[in-house]
């Protein structure tokens, strides 16, 4: 199993937190829609809508989120940010947030780190251990031919493809991500996930006690509406 976990585990986690995910994805759509409410002319918005639809987010929630971004509906002023620190066992952690109240969010993030033997640090304290990469995950099915996918990805400009137990993980540069995603989507491939992420360039393998604390900390962070994503350099899948 890869670092991102099996598709079954990932889908189960999504199902358990579907309501919270709707809130998180709506915020991403609102931020993206500030650059224009037509997804045909706003790649970021189209991508955000595609992500929301992948978890069956209702169309009315998507529409309202777009209208908040364009100013047609009143909404909170959201600000993007990130926090860095060390979890239990010295595992590096990055937390991406979208918030309308930075003081509230900072207090909640610090509480999660402190409660489970972590330390919230200063910006830059762990980000040097990660690279920003585009990641596209495609489920292994009878309809997906590995060689054809490899060729399509190479033609589109991908950097690498990793074959896992139940999926294909396609990696791109940040600059080429949208072009690769659009090319593969146009070729008929369906994505389990497609996003720009922090990928660790060096990994940490903590002991069992640290892993237990890390899992609890990440669960607490991901339950927070302000938190968009949590990244670690832990070599163990913390969602398993």
pTM of the shown model? 0.85
Cβ 138 vs Cβ 149: under 8 Å: yes
Residue 18: pLDDT over 80:
no
User: In the numeric block, which tokens belong to residue 187?
Assistant: 């070729």
- Delimit the domains of the chain by residue range: 7-70, 79-125+202-232, 129-200
The fold of the 129-200 domain, in CATH, is Alpha-Beta Plaits (3.30.70)
Kindly state the average pLDDT of the residues 46-52.
89
Are the folds of 79-125+202-232 and 129-200 the same? yes
Residue 67: pLDDT over 50:
yes
Q: 3 falls in which pLDDT band (50, 70, 90)?
A: low
pLDDT, one tens digit per residue, over 182-225 is 999 999 999 888 889 999 999 999 999 999 999 999 999 999 99
Least confident of 21-25, 61-65, 168-172: 21-25
Q: 3.40.1580.10, 3.40.50.300, 3.30.70.980, 2.60.40.10: which CATH number matches 79-125+202-232? A: 3.30.70.980
Residue with tokens 């759509």: 29
Q: What is the predicted pLDDT for the residue at 238?
A: 87
Q: 1.10.490.10, 3.30.460.10, 3.40.50.720, 1.10.10.200: which CATH number matches 7-70? A: 1.10.10.200
Kindly state the average pLDDT of the residues 109-116.
98
* 3-state helix/strand/coil string of the chain: CCCCCCHHHHHHHHHHCHHHHHHHHHHHHHHHHCCCCCCCCCHHHHHHHHHHHHCCCCHHHHHHHHHHHHCCCCCCCCEEEEEEEECHHHCEEEEEEEECCHHHHHHHHHHHHHHCCCEECCCCCCHHHEEEEEEEEEECCCCCCHHHHHHHHHHHCCCEEEECCCEEEEEECCCCHHHHHHHHHHCCCCCCEEEEEEEECCCECCCHHHHHHHHHHHHHHHCCCCEEEEEECECCCCCC
């Amino acid at each position: 199993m890869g670092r991102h976990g099996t598709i079954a585990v990932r889908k189960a986690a999504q199902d358990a937190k579907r309501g919270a995910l709707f809130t998180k994805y709506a915020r991403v759509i609102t931020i993206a829609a500030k650059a224009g409410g037509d997804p045909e002319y706003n790649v970021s918005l189209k991508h955000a809508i595609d992500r929301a639809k992948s978890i069956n987010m209702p169309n009315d929630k998507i529409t309202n989120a777009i209208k908040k971004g364009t100013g047609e509906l009143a909404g909170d002023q959201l600000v993007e940010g990130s926090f860095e620190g060390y979890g239990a066992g010295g595992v590096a952690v990055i937390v991406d947030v979208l918030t309308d109240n930075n003081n509230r969010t900072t207090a909640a993030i610090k509480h999660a780190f402190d409660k489970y033997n972590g330390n919230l640090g200063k910006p830059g304290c762990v980000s040097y251990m990660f690279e920003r990469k585009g990641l596209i995950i495609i489920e292994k099915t009878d309809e997906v031919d590995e060689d054809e996918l490899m060729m399509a990805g190479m033609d589109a400009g991908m950097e690498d493809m990793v074959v896992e137990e139940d999926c294909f993980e396609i990696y791109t540069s940040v600059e080429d991500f949208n072009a690769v995603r659009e090319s593969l989507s146009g070729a008929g491939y369906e994505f389990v996930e497609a996003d720009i992420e922090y990928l660790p360039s060096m990994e940490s393998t903590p002991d069992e006690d640290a892993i237990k604390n890390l899992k609890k900390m990440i669960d607490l962070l991901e339950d927070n509406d302000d938190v968009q994503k949590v990244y670690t350099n832990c070599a163990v899948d913390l969602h398993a």
